[in-house]
A and B are shown apart, each in its own frame.
Chain A
Amino acid sequence: GQNIDQPTEMTATEGAIVQINCTYQTSGFNGLFWYQQHAGEAPTFLSYNVLDGLEEKGRFSSFLSRSKGYSYLLLKELQMKDSASYLCAVRGYGQNFVFGPGTRLSVLP
């Protein structure tokens, strides 16, 4: 079966650091993606990991451990505009993508 878990909601303060975890069990693994989705809008690509380790992109970093079926997205220097849902997605065999339920992040002043 295919299963991706993320916390449903998180709250953090402007300027802080927040880590959003994702665990997965999928048939086949060809990469893990993080997407950001603001309310009423389309998901937009944030990061991609296919090998173990940390990928850094400005204020956003993503980590992957394939042996543990685990990833996290780290957001630094939080801004109000970071309030959104963050979706973890795994690409399995072929072009099959499985998305997690998303984590709704609220950034408070």
Chain B
Amino acid sequence: DTAVSQTPKYLVTQMGNDKSIKCEQNLGHDTMYWYKQDSKKFLKIMFSYNNKELIINETVPNRFSPKSPDKAHLNLHINSLELGDSAVYFCASSQGRADPAGTDTQYFGPGTRLTVL
């Protein structure tokens, strides 16, 4: 069974369009994240949610809006796509503060490669 899943795996779209990426985790984790990995392979945190509440919102354009309908899902909606949004987007989850070991290891989804033309 896939622990953290994302759809779609590939997304090719035109500039100016609006698109969504879905993420689901079946690990029972409390915390979920969205990361962006650009062409230079830098992995940067965008958002973090703990039990459906936003706890981290890095300097990300407000065209990006995360939505967490329940603690197992964290979707990412992007409005008015720009060329610079092309990247691989990774969803991740961790136990968060509930981790008894304290490591709070993150488990990553397979990534969504977004290409904006």
Contacts and interface: CB of A to CB of B under 8 A. Distances in A.
B90 to A, nearest CB: 6
Interface stretch (A14-22, A56-64, A65-73, A91-99): A91-99
B76 interface: no
A101 B40 contact: yes
Interface of A: 31, 33, 37, 41-45, 48, 50, 85, 87, 89, 91, 94-99, 101-102
Contacts of A98: 45
Interface in B101-117: 102-111
Contacts, number: 58
Given A95-B33, A99-B43, A102-B41, A45 B105 contact: yes
Nearest to B49: A95
20 contacts: A31-B102, A37-B41, A41-B110, A42-B90, A42-B111, A43-B108, A44-B108, A45-B106, A48-B105, A85-B41, A91-B104, A95-B31, A95-B55, A95-B56, A95-B94, A96-B45, A96-B56, A97-B106, A98-B45, A99-B45
